A and B are shown apart, each in its own frame.
Chain A
């Protein structure tokens, strides 16, 4: 069964460094999402992406964050200058038009630790 994959599974970085989290969507999917979960807190929506542009973003997704689909397969989330509070599990999700119940398919997540 096709699945969403994410790399790396765990990223440790120093505060102020840039990180890029990568996601490979299911091949025929057109809608892409990033969510994050800070330890002990809710899974929070960050951004949705369709047709090479951001569809919607939350107040968390400030100008330190960016997304792109650089090569038509990967979908990336970049954090320009990481802060301690960016430490979280980041989930990529994708779906396709007409999917049953608008189901979003999630990757296994990248655990980001900012020191």
Chain B
């Protein structure tokens, strides 16, 4: 089955950049996603990248995809306290089922 791996914890100072990494095993995914989960809330789609792209920029967010190494990263520029959350990498496979990593908790220090 699909396997998605993430590191678990990141602390960053407000204003700095955060980078979260993810590796996956199945290269057939059409889309790769980053979901954000704030306390008490569900998973919310933060951004995504189409599998034939290498990079996607979306305001403060930059997604990099290295298909050869099956590596996905999310960079958050100018990290703010509201960015404190758990970030999940996910890939779709099969009949649009999602495979998630364990999540990466980002703590922003003011």
Contact = CB atoms under 8 A, between A and B. Distances in A.
Interface of A: 4, 6, 31, 33, 35, 40-45, 48, 55-56, 58, 91, 93, 95, 101-109
Query: Secondary structure of the B side of the interface?
Result: strand
Interface string B25-46: 0000011010100001111110
A68 B48 CA distance: 30
A56 B43 contact: no
A45 B99 contact: yes
B94 interface: yes
Given A101-B48, A102-B30, A45 B98 contact: yes
B40 A108 contact: yes
Query: Secondary structure of the A side of the interface?
Result: strand
B98 A104 contact: yes
Contacts of A104: 45, 96, 98
A42 B96 contact: no
B26 to A, nearest CB: 13
Contact of B42 (A42, A95, A103, A106): A106
B24 interface: no
A56 B94 contact: yes
Nearest to B41: A108
The 7 nearest A-B residue pairs measured at CB: A106-B42, A43-B100, A106-B43, A108-B42, A101-B48, A45-B97, A56-B95
Band of interface residues on B: 20 to 34
Contact of A91 (B42, B45, B97): B42
Contacts of A42: 4, 100-103
A103 B97 contact: no
A55 B48 contact: no
23 contacts: A4-B42, A31-B96, A42-B100, A42-B101, A43-B43, A43-B100, A43-B103, A44-B100, A48-B96, A48-B97, A55-B95, A91-B42, A93-B98, A102-B30, A103-B33, A103-B45, A103-B48, A104-B96, A106-B43, A106-B44, A107-B42, A108-B40, A108-B41
